[in-house]
Amino acid sequence: MIPELGNFALYIAFAFSILLSIFPAIGLKQNNTRLMAMAPNLTIGLFVFTLFSFACLAYAFLTDDFTVVNVAQNSNSLLPIHYKFAASFGSHEGSFLLWLLMQSGWSFAVAIFSKGLPVDMRTRVLTVLGWISVGFYAYIIISSNPFERTLPYFPIDGRDLNPLLQDIGMIIHPPLLYMGYVGLSIAFAFAIAALLSGNLDSTWAKWSRPWTAAAWAFLTLGLTIGSWWAYSELGWGGWWFWDPVENAAFMPWLVATALLHSLAVSEKRNAFKSWTVFLAIAAFSLSLLGTFLVRSGVIVSVHAFATDPERGVFILVLLTLVIGGSLLLYSLKAGNIKSFGKFSVFSRESMLWSNNVLLVAATMVVLMGTLLPLVHKQIGLGTISIGEPFFNQMFTYLIVPFALLLGIAPLVRWKQDKLNNFIAKPLVVIAISLTLSLTWLFAEFDEIKPLALLGATLFIWIMLFTALELKQTLNKVSFSKLPLSHFSMVLGHIGIAFILAGVGLTSQYSVERDVKMNIGDSAELKGYEFTFEQINNIKGPNYEGWAAEIYITKQNKFVAELHAEKRFYPVQRNTMTEAAIDAGFFRDIYISLGERLPDGAWALRIYVKPYIRWIWLGGIIVALGGFLTLFDRRYRNKKALAKG
């Protein structure tokens, strides 16, 4: 009964999306305000019915309704309750319904919070969102309905959720990423609406900025938590794998970062406008491309869902319509966009332009690295794989100019500045940064590694310049008068600095050791003494396995006691390594339990990873910066918005 209601609600939501895509558009054409006024109400209906539908699916999972195919295949009566909930979006169908919930949720937010916009603009934006929705709802109803029944012959128990996904990171990381992905559709809708109306003044940039910042902040948080999930759950101590699906989420982030900066120029200086529109289209297009890659089975990845070419074809058609259509519109209409703001070769504008060039270059690198193996195979040259070394090397080249500019740019004036002012200061700062980082690394690690030195130096460089800029600005404007978006920038930049330091140090100074231990044995790594205390048989709700108890000391002082587990999930016949981690601001100790050897001893892998937390700390700081923008008075004040 409940699944039928959910299914029915989904159909109603689909009907709402069709209405939303048609009537307000007619209203715009005929200048009929009554038809235009339907848009917000239809959007609210769309959201409410989708929410209800999602609630029905979650209910089916929570109550073990194995008459629903999706539940039978992805849940199990023994699964703990929070994972039953997570399982409702762990499958292809369920996650797509979650996607729709968010899509309609964002549209709902636009309908509610954009009352300050001119009616025609608001209608146009909602109509564009309606068009996108029609495609997505049609897709889920036709080829991925999560409410399909197993009746009349239903299994007595389900096939269980993939153990990899049975983790707290799994409950929060996909929804955050989807919030980001889907949120970019708002910036996209604003850009398309502006192109359609031909009215691309700087107000457009002002309207879409907070929405872009919000989506981008969610994406940042999603990536950060995804990275942390991989680290804590996949059991081999890595935090970024350049997996095609990670890349698929990383590309929209890179482009959205470029978009945020380019929007600032469009808004404040009336320049880069056509380019900004392009970035808005590109950011959402890359989100869709990512969806295609994950769900079509074209690539192999830990993230990929079960494959089904029919679904792939459907998404490909959607891609063609949305991306192809918007790029066509762009090529036809963007020629009319005139940017009036003039700027010289050395100015804030040119700095932000370099930022955009570097970010787009980085996106191209990731795109190439992700798709080249596919292209290579399709044109008959056989299988190649492009792995970490390629990406790491390319990103090392790109990050140096990026980080150096990131430090200076906020100090450079709009329109024009004197290059002479920027010779002495950077030289002094780089000298200080180098000295400090050399001291730091030498004191802590006794050994200088070039890439670690690079990370540490860039970290200090960005921190010093950010402090300088803040001081300079506060000389002119009092602290309380400084707009919040300025702090967003500061946080964003500091966060990047932490990520750079974290990546540089942890990649260079992490150590690992494979040991074979019997109960009572000890091993040493980086000054830590690891003692294998005991091993216990454990039994969880839907798994059983072994837990090793390891006692860690440093110079005879207690550091931590860790339990590394190896679990066996009978229903899925899957073995999982649950790493044990002692987390710290300056270092992590990470232990994963390997096999039991024939002589009864156990294989263990021990890692000490300095500064790895800085990567996620940085990510969280960056995301905070993004969210802070939303509270900036300039974007919250309706009058200011309307006036532009």
Partner 1 sequence: MTTKKFNFRLVPLILFVLLLAVLLKGLFSDPRERDSALIGKAFPQFQLPDLYDDSKQHTEKTLLNEAVLINVWGTWCITCKYELPYLAKLANEYDVKIVGLYYDQNYAPEFGQFADIPAIRVEVKDMLARLGNPYQYNILDLDRSLSLNLGVTGAPETFLVDANGIIRMHHMGDVNERIWREKLAPIWNEINQ
The residues that touch partner 1, with contacts defined as CB under 8 A, are 72, 152-153, 155-157, 159-160, 274, 278, 282, 285, 292, 296-300, 304, 307, 309, 312-313, 316, 319-320, 323-324, 327-328, 330-331, 334-335, 371, 374-375, 377-378, 545-546, 566, 568, 570-573, 595-596
CA dist., res. 74 & res. 66, Å (int):
10
Q: Element (H or E) spanning 551, and its range?
A: strand 544-554
Is residue 498 a contact partner of residue 617, using CB atoms and an 8 Å limit? yes
Instruction: Using the structure block, give the residue that is written with the tokens 């900066």.
Output: 261
Is residue 107 a contact partner of residue 573, using CB atoms and an 8 Å limit? no
Q: Which is nearer to partner 1, 102 or 304 (CB)?
A: 304
Q: Which is nearer to partner 1, 357 or 511 (CB)?
A: 357
Q: Which residues does residue 575 pair with via DSSP β-bridges, in sequence order?
A: 568
Total residues found in the chain within this entry: 644
Q: Phi and psi (nearest 5°) for 241?
A: -120, 0
Q: Which is nearer to partner 1, 309 or 397 (CB)?
A: 309
Q: Which is nearer to partner 1, 527 or 598 (CB)?
A: 598
Q: Which is nearer to partner 1, 310 or 524 (CB)?
A: 310
Q: How far is the CB of 608 from partner 1 (least distance, A)?
A: 26
Report the alpha-carbon angle 92-626-119, nearest 5.
80
Q: How far is the CB of 69 from partner 1 (least distance, A)?
A: 10
Q: How far is the CB of 376 from partner 1 (least distance, A)?
A: 10
Q: How far is the CB of 297 from partner 1 (least distance, A)?
A: 5
Q: Which residues does residue 581 pair with via DSSP β-bridges, in sequence order?
A: 590
Strand ranges, E, within 424-573: 511-517, 522-525, 528-539, 544-554, 557-569
Q: How far is CA 306 from the centre of its chain?
A: 22
DSSP secondary structure letters along 211-242: HHHHHHHHHHHHHHHHHHHHHHHSSS--S---
Q: Which is nearer to partner 1, 83 or 569 (CB)?
A: 569
Q: How far is the CB of 154 from partner 1 (least distance, A)?
A: 9
Instruction: Using the structure block, give the residue that is written with the tokens 């978006």.
Output: 485
Is residue 164 a contact partner of residue 236, using CB atoms and an 8 Å limit? no
Q: Which is nearer to partner 1, 80 or 309 (CB)?
A: 309
**Residue 602 vs residues 172, 201, 480: alpha-carbon distances, Å:** 34, 67, 60
Cis previous bond, 483, omega within 30? no
Q: Which is nearer to partner 1, 133 or 296 (CB)?
A: 296
Q: How far is the CB of 139 from partner 1 (least distance, A)?
A: 15
Residue type, 25: A
Q: How far is the CB of 12 from partner 1 (least distance, A)?
A: 29
CA dist., res. 71 & res. 3, Å (int):
11
Q: Which is nearer to partner 1, 214 or 334 (CB)?
A: 334
